[in-house]
């Protein structure tokens, strides 16, 4: 009996000989490899519009969009602003394929063409007037270049995506093109114009479109091939003699990385100075610096003043005084 107890104690002390091991079944690895090969062969799944996905309340999302922007939209107008013509054509075509007659297949749904046109007209007019007031010395060609940049498909499409407009847009395209996003955004502007009036819509344009000018250089927006000729033309309109370029400083002229500083003088006063890898490049850059000062679009200009919709004019005033 005592020997039996000793054996039991020894077995208990040593523990069980076999313990359960957690692991992955043998079929898991080949199954996952098969799924990966199938995914590579078939490619990624086709994108599905947000309004076709489950757990999506379109009416609630429209109201939430209006509240996010803190704007008083008419709900019906806002819904119309998101409806593109391609969506109406697609839905009517699918109904005809199901055998519906022409009268039943026709949707009682208005697209955003009219609202988008109202939005285009107001946006271009408002931004043009605002830029002309903010930069009175900027020529007509420069104003048009700035307006074209702010109303381009890239800028408006970027704004629309960040506002979540692509999730609510009804269109036959998926993913949406920049043209569709631009047209839908114009439709929203048109809906706001008819819902809240031009004053509120103007503030909306200032908040979301004109702010895209922050941190932008004038000549990134407006391509000028010969800045020196433009500077001479602008100075002649102000009855000022042409600028005289002079080499003010240079360094490393005999090395592979030389730098030259060229200054432009009007009536023996320095109006602009800029560096360049060559004397010609420095002269062109100095002309651009002078044009930025003259047009009030310098790098150190004041931030946008929303109270008066006018930009500070200290830079081009100093330039005109120097000339």
| Cβ atoms 72, 204 nearer than 8 A | no
Residue 14 and residue 185: Cα distance in Å, rounded?
76
Instruction: Give the CA diameter of the chain.
Output: 125
pLDDT confidence of residue 7: 53
pLDDT confidence of residue 320: 44
The percentage of the chain sitting over the pLDDT mark of 90, rounded to a whole number, equals: 46
Give the neighbor-by-neighbor strand order of the sheet with 259-266: 244-251, 259-266, 269-276
SS3 of residue 111 by DSSP: coil
Residues 6 or more apart in contact with residue 186 via CB below 8 angstroms? 115, 116, 117, 119, 120, 123, 156
Going by pLDDT thresholds of 50, 70 and 90, the confidence category of residue 309 is very low
SS3 of residue 83 by DSSP: strand
The distance from CA 233 to its chain's CA centroid, rounded to whole angstroms, is: 34
pLDDT confidence of residue 276: 92
Token pair listed for 300: 């150190």
Domains, the chain: 50-213 (1.10.1520.10), 224-322 (3.30.160.20)
Residues 6 or more apart in contact with residue 241 via CB below 8 angstroms? 235, 266, 267
Which residue has 């370029």 as its token pair?
245
Q: Give the residue ranges of DSSP H helices in the chain.
A: 2-14, 28-42, 58-69, 75-81, 85-97, 102-105, 113-134, 140-150, 153-162, 165-168, 178-196, 198-208, 218-221, 227-237, 279-295, 314-322
SS3 of residue 176 by DSSP: coil
Backbone angles phi, psi at 261, to 5 degrees: -115, 125
Tens of pLDDT along 53-108?
888 888 899 999 999 998 988 889 999 999 998 888 888 787 777 777 666 667 77
pLDDT confidence of residue 262: 94
pLDDT confidence of residue 174: 84
Sheet strands (E) in the chain: 244-251, 259-266, 269-276
| Cβ atoms 168, 62 nearer than 8 A | yes
| Cβ atoms 313, 296 nearer than 8 A | yes
Tens of pLDDT along 151-196?
999 999 999 999 999 989 988 888 889 999 999 999 999 999 999 9
| Cβ atoms 168, 75 nearer than 8 A | no
């Amino acid at each position: 009996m005592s020997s039996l107890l000793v054996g039991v104690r020894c077995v208990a002390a040593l523990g069980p000989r076999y313990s359960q091991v957690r692991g992955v079944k043998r079929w898991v690895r080949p199954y996952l490899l098969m799924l990966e090969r199938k995914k590579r062969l078939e490619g990624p799944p086709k994108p599905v519009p947000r309004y076709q996905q489950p757990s999506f309340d379109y009416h609630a999302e429209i109201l939430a969009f209006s509240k996010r922007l803190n704007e008083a939209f008419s709900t019906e107008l806002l819904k119309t602003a998101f409806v593109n013509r391609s969506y109406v054509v697609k839905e009517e075509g699918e109904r005809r394929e199901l055998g519906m007659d022409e009268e039943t297949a026709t949707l009682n749904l208005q697209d955003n063409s009219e609202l988008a046109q109202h939005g285009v007209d107001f946006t271009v007019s408002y931004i043009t007037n605002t830029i002309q007031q903010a930069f009175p010395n900027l020529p007509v060609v420069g104003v048009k270049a700035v307006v074209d940049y702010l109303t381009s498909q890239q800028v408006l499409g970027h704004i629309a995506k960040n506002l979540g407009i692509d999730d609510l847009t009804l269109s036959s395209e998926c993913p949406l093109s920049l043209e569709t996003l631009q047209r839908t955004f114009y439709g929203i502007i048109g809906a706001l114009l008819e819902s809240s009036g031009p004053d509120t819509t103007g503030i909306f344009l200032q908040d979301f479109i004109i702010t895209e000018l922050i941190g932008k250089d004038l000549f990134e927006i407006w391509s000028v091939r010969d800045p020196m000729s433009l500077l001479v033309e602008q100075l002649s309109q102000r009855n000022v003699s042409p600028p005289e370029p002079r080499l003010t400083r240079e360094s490393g002229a005999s090395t592979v990385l030389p730098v030259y500083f060229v200054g432009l003088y009007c009536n023996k006063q320095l109006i602009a100075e800029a560096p360049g890898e060559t004397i010609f490049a420095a002269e062109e850059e100095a002309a651009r610096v002078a044009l930025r000062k003259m047009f009030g679009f310098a790098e150190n200009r004041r931030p946008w003043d929303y109270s008066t919709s006018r930009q500070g004019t200290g830079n081009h005033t100093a330039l005109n005084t120097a000339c």
